[in-house]
Amino acid sequence: MMNHLYELLKIVLASPYTLPVIYGIVIVAVLPLVAGYVVLVERKVMADMQARLGPMRVGPHGLLQPIADAVKLLLKEDIIPEKADVWIFWLAPIVSMTAGMLALAPVGIGPAFQIAKDIDVGILFIAGISSLGIFGIVLGGWASNSHYSLMGALRSAAQLVSYETAAGMALVSGLLLGGSLQIRTLVEEQAKQGVWFVALAPIAFFIYLVASIAETNRAPFDLPEAESELVAGYMTEYSGFRWSLYFLAEYANMMVVGSVATTIFLGGWLRPFSSVGGAAGRAIDTVPGALLLGVAAYCLYRAPKQPVTVQKLVMVAVAGLCAAVAAALLAPVFVAQALWMKPAIHGAFWFLLKVGGYIYLFMWLRFTLPRYRFDQLMRLGWYFLIPVSIVNVMGIGIALVLHWERGMHLALALGLTTLMTLVVAGFLVRAELKREEQLRQAATGDAYAG
């Protein structure tokens, strides 16, 4: 009997579809939990910037707050407006959530963890599928039969059209340097050249950063939600579990754009100084495990100071989890038999760390900058980002031609074309400042004329 089960297991694992299905189930099961704890981190970061504590009541230091929020949303009353288009009202958040999760399929979380493994058009697939999420927002706003929701949906559609172009041009800049749409090839090309593409195309990275913030409706570009003028925008009439689907879709899209930026510009799953080997490389490889051991030690230090026994147990459990992950990260460094684990485990750690840093930057900007007006949002996209992104793509193309045909060093050629792009950007900024000054003078003249 055991032999038959073993043979069946070997057949199942030998199938090319087994691991992708397992990875897909893991993402669908884990993503809501990850999104909940990203929200907790966001609330803690906001509280720290405002000199307060944030969530503290549910679990030690609020660690169980996402669980409480999920239970609340599941039990909350589900309201459908009387004049709403019921079927579309039901379908809209599912469309947004499905597009956000499906876009994660080609993402390589390390060299081993990838659902749609090694598809030739990985980046193109992600860009196309993630763009479909706008249909859920537009349908939700229209089906709600509310002026607030409809305005939020139309704003979101205009915003996506404006910034998708700039984001696409920024991705083209990175793809020109990598020479492929395939996820693995882009990462391997950065390893081969010994430099992350953010150093070769910093303007493209900046453009993609700004455009990705606008695409995910994050502050200071959160005009589709705009609580001060649209109540909650396209989600005004949604409550309970369906509202949480929109919420989950937004954070899934944040992870998608963070993963794309990490793959193209930040070296993917490569560690810093990936070309360094020997003792120095071994020391760098111990950093992930050492960081998690430090977190585990801090949790054990804080556990006796918790006021309730349950909170003490939770802190000990978190410390044990961190210690177990640290052991898995350190094993390939010190145990030769576990060396085969190193690319997958360490690659996933560095990839997730970079994506986490990218999302942290989203939070930082949200709590620092005020919301743009809608006309400012449109002008930034059409009058600045798109022209600069076009010039940047042309500049990178010229630099590559100079490198391939004339033998100029790639870094020098890219430096010259980057300088050219910065001159164009400065000219556009100067023209915009001059226009605003003229409008200000005209408004002042009209006021005195009255």
Within 8 A by CB and 6+ apart from 76, the residues are: 239, 240, 241
> What is the overall mean pLDDT for the chain?
85
Based on the fold, state whether residues 341 and 371 are members of the same structural domain.
Answer: no
Question: DSSP labels for 100-116?
Answer: HHHTTTT--SSSS--SS
Q: Which two tokens stand for residue 230?
A: 């649209």
Are residue 134 and residue 210 in the same domain, yes or no? yes
Statement to judge: residues 350 and 424 lie in one domain: no
In a domain, 38, yes or no: no
* 122 within domain boundaries: yes
Q: Above 80 in pLDDT, residue 100? A: yes
Specify whether 211 is located in the same domain as 303. no
Instruction: Please check whether residues 359 and 377 belong to one and the same domain.
Output: no
pLDDT classification of 450: cutoffs 50, 70, 90:
very low
Looking at 302, 337, 365, which one is the last position of a domain?
Answer: 365
User: To the nearest whole percent, how much of the chain has pLDDT over 90?
Assistant: 24
Instruction: Indicate if the pLDDT at residue 339 is higher than 50.
Output: yes
Segment among 54-68, 111-125, 183-197, 412-426 with least mean pLDDT: 111-125
Cα angle for residues 71, 73, 77 (degrees, 5° grid): 120
Return the DSSP state at 385: I
Question: Do 354 and 385 share a domain, yes or no?
Answer: no
Cα dihedral 41, 42, 46, 48, rounded to 10, equals 10
Residues 231 and 285 in one domain: no
Q: Which of 10-19, 87-96, 203-212, 351-360 has the lowest mean pLDDT?
A: 10-19
pLDDT tens digits for 379-424?
888 889 999 999 999 999 999 999 888 888 888 888 988 898 899 8
pLDDT at residue 10, as a whole number: 61
The mean per-residue pLDDT over the stretch 322-337 comes to 87
Q: Which two tokens stand for residue 14?
A: 């030998």
CB 81 within 8 A of CB 144: yes
Give the pLDDT band (50/70/90) at residue 449. Answer: very low
pLDDT band, residue 350 (cuts 50/70/90): very high
Residue 14 banded pLDDT, cuts 50, 70, 90 = low
Same domain, 184 and 163: yes
**Rounded percentage of the chain residues whose pLDDT exceeds 70:** 94
pLDDT grade for 2, boundaries at 50, 70 and 90: low
| 163/251 same-domain check | yes
Domain boundary (334, 365, 396) is at: 365
C-alpha distances in Å from residue 314, one per residue of 44, 61, 62, 302, 414: 18, 10, 11, 11, 51
Residue 62 clears pLDDT 90, i.e. is over it: no
Of 184, 342, 362, nearest to 264 by C-alpha is: 184
Q: Are residues 125 and 224 in the same domain?
A: yes
Instruction: Give the domain range for residue 419.
Output: 76-270+366-449
**CA 132 to the chain's CA centroid:** 16
Say yes or no to pLDDT of 228 above 80.
no
DSSP state of 266: S
Same-domain status, 101 and 174: yes
123, containing H or E segment: helix 122-131
The dihedral over CA atoms of 329, 331, 336, 341, expressed in degrees to the nearest 10, equals: -40
Q: Is the peptide bond before 20 cis (omega within 30 degrees of 0)?
A: no
Does residue 401 lie in a domain region?
A: yes
At residue 295 the predicted structure's pLDDT band, cuts being 50, 70 and 90, is very high
Of 160, 126, 165, nearest to 141 by C-alpha is: 160
Query: Looking at residue 443, what is its pLDDT?
Result: 74
pLDDT band at 319 (very low <50, low <70, confident <90, very high): very high
Q: Residue 6 falls within a domain, yes or no? A: no
Mean of pLDDT values over 224-238:
76
> What ranges in 133-226 are assigned the alpha helix state H?
133-143, 147-178, 183-193, 197-200, 202-215
> How many domains does the chain divide into?
2
- pTM score, whole prediction: 0.89
Contacts of 310 (CB under 8 A, 6+ apart): none
Q: What is the pLDDT of residues 131-164, one digit of tens each?
A: 888 888 888 888 888 888 888 888 888 888 888 8
Cα atoms found within 13 Å of the Cα of residue 99, Cβ hemisphere only: 24
